[in-house]
Amino acid sequence: MQVLALGSGAGGGFPQWNCACRNCSALRAGTFRGKPRTQAQLAVCADGNAWFLLGASPDLRAQIEAVPQLQPSKGQLRQSPVTGVLLASAEVDHVLGLLSLRELQPLEVYSTPSIRRILREDNSIFRMLNRVPGQVQWVDIVPGQHFWLQSGSEQSLRCQAVSLVSKFPAYVPEPKLPELAAQEALLGLILDAPPGKRLGYFPAVPEVDENLLNILDSTDLLFFDGTFWSDDELIRVLGQGQTARQMGHIPVSGPYGSLERLASLQRPRKIFLHINNTNPMLDEAGEEYRALRAAGWEIAEDGWQFQL
Ligand SMILES: [Zn+2]
């Protein structure tokens, strides 16, 4: 399986358009030792032809143009190797890119029924994906059950969605919530690559219990929530706001942070992704970066490619 990290930042990217924090300011000034990042986006391919997107970031159009593998093959006027999109949540930063895929290209979008209903029933702009017959096929997935990403009539990649305890996005109207299933709000994604290799995609993780630890340790390549370094990071930078945990992200450092909670993992190559622009570990000259490298972690960069 080929894996492309097309984007590695959290919502807003790095630098963020309205942010003048220490990181964003230094990056704009050209004095930052670290990379700019578009919003988190992975693409995977098992057979060399059909590519599947994990999420659909607001930066998707530029991310597709950045890699030849995702561009139309020569000799066809309208064609795309992008075959399907697998959604892990209904968060804006994770679904807005679907609207960049509205040019009547046949696609399959895999999501839980609750995520599908939020997008299709309450947000009429997504009807642009179903203007003509045979455009987007919406495929329901059930957390905990295996399913296959399809390329035409062929089974391409075997997947499993892991339900994570979380809330639906803030834009979902209150009266809608009783109609939705809480276990369908936020998923981690496991993809099995022949022969016997496994990818884990967990860009938002509110907490880690023993069951999740075992699942994470069954992967060979793990992309994990690196949104915030500390629980009070945004409050420290902005003087107000929510903690990382209140926003549904286990912080990297501190008691019960991901460095501590995931220290026992034996199997996977461990890579932080979905990194917020305020996170001090983006600074490769800083002690936070040194600390996570010493703990065996890496930070994803836009354009990284992997073979599983
Ligand atoms: Zn910033």
The pTM assigned to this predicted structure is 0.97
Segment 224-271, tens digit of pLDDT? 999 999 999 999 999 999 999 999 999 999 999 999 999 999 999 999
Please tell me the distance between residue 99's alpha carbon and the centre of ligand 1 in angstroms.
26
Please tell me the distance between residue 4's alpha carbon and the centre of ligand 1 in angstroms.
25
Segment 143-164, tens digit of pLDDT? 999 999 999 888 989 999 999 9
Segment 66-120, tens digit of pLDDT? 999 999 988 889 999 999 999 999 999 999 999 999 999 999 999 999 999 999 9
Please tell me the distance between residue 21's alpha carbon and the centre of ligand 1 in angstroms.
4
Which of 85, 43, 54 is CA-nearest to residue 203?
A: 54
Distances (CA, A) of 157 to 154, 186, 267: 9, 21, 21
Please tell me the distance between residue 146's alpha carbon and the centre of ligand 1 in angstroms.
39
Please tell me the distance between residue 276's alpha carbon and the centre of ligand 1 in angstroms.
8
Give the pLDDT score at 36: 98
Segment 30-61, tens digit of pLDDT? 999 999 999 999 999 998 999 999 999 999 99
Please tell me the distance between residue 12's alpha carbon and the centre of ligand 1 in angstroms.
9
Please tell me the distance between residue 212's alpha carbon and the centre of ligand 1 in angstroms.
31
Q: Report every protein residue that has its C-beta within 5 angstroms of ion ligand 1.
A: 19, 21, 24, 277
* pLDDT, the chain, mean: 96
Distances (CA, A) of 194 to 23, 70, 71, 158: 40, 21, 25, 9
Segment 199-228, tens digit of pLDDT? 999 999 999 999 999 999 999 999 999 999
Please tell me the distance between residue 67's alpha carbon and the centre of ligand 1 in angstroms.
27
Please tell me the distance between residue 278's alpha carbon and the centre of ligand 1 in angstroms.
5
Give the pLDDT score at 76: 86
- Residue 133: pLDDT band with limits 50, 70, 90: very high
Please tell me the distance between residue 241's alpha carbon and the centre of ligand 1 in angstroms.
14
- Residue 194: pLDDT band with limits 50, 70, 90: confident
- Residue 195: pLDDT band with limits 50, 70, 90: confident
Please tell me the distance between residue 221's alpha carbon and the centre of ligand 1 in angstroms.
28
Please identify which residue in the block is written with the tokens 């992967």. Answer: 219
Please tell me the distance between residue 24's alpha carbon and the centre of ligand 1 in angstroms.
4
Give the pLDDT score at 165: 86
Please tell me the distance between residue 63's alpha carbon and the centre of ligand 1 in angstroms.
21
